[in-house]
Amino acid sequence: MNETNRRRTFAIISHPDAGKTTLTEKFLLFGGQIQVAGAVKSNKIRKTATSDWMDIEKQRGISVTTSVMEFDYLPEGHEGKPYKINILDTPGHQDFAEDTYRTLTAVDSVIIVVDSAKGVEMQTRKLMEVCRMRNTPVIIFINKMDREGRDPFDVLDELEQELQIHVRPLSWPIGQGQKFKGVYNIYEQQLNLFTPNKQRVSEKVETDINSNDLPKHVGESGASQLREDLELIDGVYPEFDVKEYLAGTTAPVFFGSALNNFGVQELLDCFVEIAPSPQPTQAEERMVEPSEPKFTGFVFKITANIDPNHRSCIAFCKVCSGKFVRNQPYRHIRLDKTVRFSSPTQFMAQRKSTVDTAYPGDIIGLPDTGIFKIGDTLTEGEDLHFRGLPSFSPELFKYIENEDPMKSKQFFKGLEQLMNEGVAQLFVNQFNGRRIVGTVGQLQFEVIQYRLEHEYNAKCRWEPVHLYKACWIEADSAEDLENFKKRKYQYIAKDIEDRDVFLADSGYMLSMAQQDFKGIKFHFTSEF
């Protein structure tokens, strides 16, 4: 395996509390990145490991930042170079959904964690939409089988309906809750018996599903139920085809309990085998193959002030092709400037260290002195622009005002920086010059206020503005556009890229505008 082929870059996504953090932690255990005996409470990793950098996060106990964890892993019985796993962590809280969407632009596949009792929840549905937009291959892990949950067939039906994807179970639970006996690994044709509370121990039994031994392990009723279920599965679901998985049309499904570390290794082993290695990346100019010799990469995430002692930002850059080398000159396309990085970092479970080289699929942290925006491209010289994910029209809007006139420099600098990081969207009303911040959740307003104060020493004040949607507008005829802007002058704004935006204060106003101005195209995402 070459450097690119051995890499697996993915995100674990879920509705909050389904078990994403717990599963991530178990993966790190297998990768030898952390050594913890016994079940570690999921919050622990949030409080000690890399995913919890910002004060506000600690206060609220939610993951605001997206961090990266990498480790090597070689499944038992395999020889040669290990796989290099890059897990991109995502905030679970829905108010930071945009952050997660952006992270999904940097992964080659995802694992979705679903709570067996709760089934598909709102956040999972939204995240799956983004995966579908990008045809990202998906594996589903049905978690918490040690608890009473729903009938697994019902859960599978719900997954198909709600997530609009075909599913194919590759493991199957034998009982659940108190009666949970283990899983049958359909992929490996192996029975794994569950021993509660014993970490990293699961008894694997090689047994034919038709063998007379089966009842010995799972009881008479367990055995007959399992045989019946497997027959039904074979009847209902087509055989697993890895091509359909890679195309993003079929999701293999695993069952287990992350907390008890059960079914996790099966998931990980199958994952490294079938999940895609780094894929080509679409730039505006052309498709960029990971095997190309020259380095290219793009920034998908900027995090400020990871270390409170050094008030600096880190830009997370995904390597798309070639080899990144420390101290080499690279071209920052948007600024048309040569940049060098003397201390790029890579991320391990509990620390980060300087990295000398990185390959496609890797995520490197570049110290950012304010030169990066989300979506920026770095190359060895070629004019390339990687396509990011568009901004979606925000759901909530407020006027932002500078509360302390003596600190206006700090205020504007902080605001600009936070918008470049993609914390929220800023629109400047062309009529009255007031600034409007748009977010997907209330919490983002609080984050902005908190960070302006703590990182930029500036104070802001929010004032209500009644808005329904912000739509990006364009027209084939410049005259039509000018006419529209003149007629609606009170509702026209610019975004930070200087694009025209129409601020509609009601659904009625928007549909009237659409009706009356046929020459104007109204877009609900920023890329069209």
- In the complex, the residues that contact ligand G4P under the rule CB under 6 A are 14, 16-22, 41-43, 92, 143-144, 146-147, 257-260
Report in angstroms the alpha-carbon separations of 97 from 66, 71, 142, 386, 482: 11, 26, 22, 21, 35
Give the nearer residue to ligand G4P in terms of CB position, either 259 or 452: 259
Which one, 115 or 500, has the nearer CB to ligand G4P? 115
89 is annotated as contributing to ligand binding:
yes
Enter the tokens of residue 76. Answer: 């038992």
> Is 388 a known ligand-binding residue?
no
Say if residue 144 carries a ligand binding annotation.
Answer: yes
Strands, DSSP E only, in 330-369? 330-332, 337-339, 345-347, 352-354, 357-358, 363-368
Closer CB to ligand G4P, 19 or 297, in the complex: 19
Beta carbon of residue 32, minimum distance to ligand G4P (angstroms, whole number): 20
Is 14 one of the annotated binding-site residues? yes
Q: Of 17 and 403, which CB lies nearer to ligand G4P in the complex structure?
A: 17
Whose Cβ is closer to ligand G4P: residue 21's or residue 444's?
21
16 in a known ligand binding site: yes
Return d(Cα 401, Cα 396) in angstroms, integer.
16
- Dihedral (CA of 56, 354, 385, 288) sign: negative
The CA-based diameter of the chain, rounded to the nearest angstrom, is 82
Minimal distance in Å, beta carbon 63 to ligand G4P?
Answer: 8
Which residues share a beta bridge with 366?
315
**Minimum distance of ligand G4P from residue 194's CB (angstroms):** 11
If the CB atoms of residues 51 and 444 are measured against ligand G4P, the closer one turns out to be 51
Shortest Å distance, C-beta 130 to ligand G4P:
17
CA angle, 28 then 360 then 127, to 5°? 60
- Establish whether 18 is an annotated binding residue: yes
92 is in an annotated binding site: yes
Measured between alpha carbons, how far is 74 from 140 in angstroms, rounded to an integer? 21
Asked whether residue 419 is marked as a ligand-binding residue, the answer is: no
Distance of closest approach, residue 143 Cβ to ligand G4P, in angstroms: 5
Residues paired with 13 in a beta bridge: 112
Residue 282 in tokens: 């679409």
CB within 8 Å of 73: residues ≥ 6 apart: 30, 31, 82, 83, 85, 268, 272
419 residue type, one letter:
M
Least distance (Å) from ligand G4P to the CB of residue 260? 6
Residue 289 near residue 360 (C-beta atoms within 8 A) = no
Report the binding-site residues for GTP: 14-21, 89-93, 143-146
Report the binding-site residues: 14-21, 89-93, 143-146
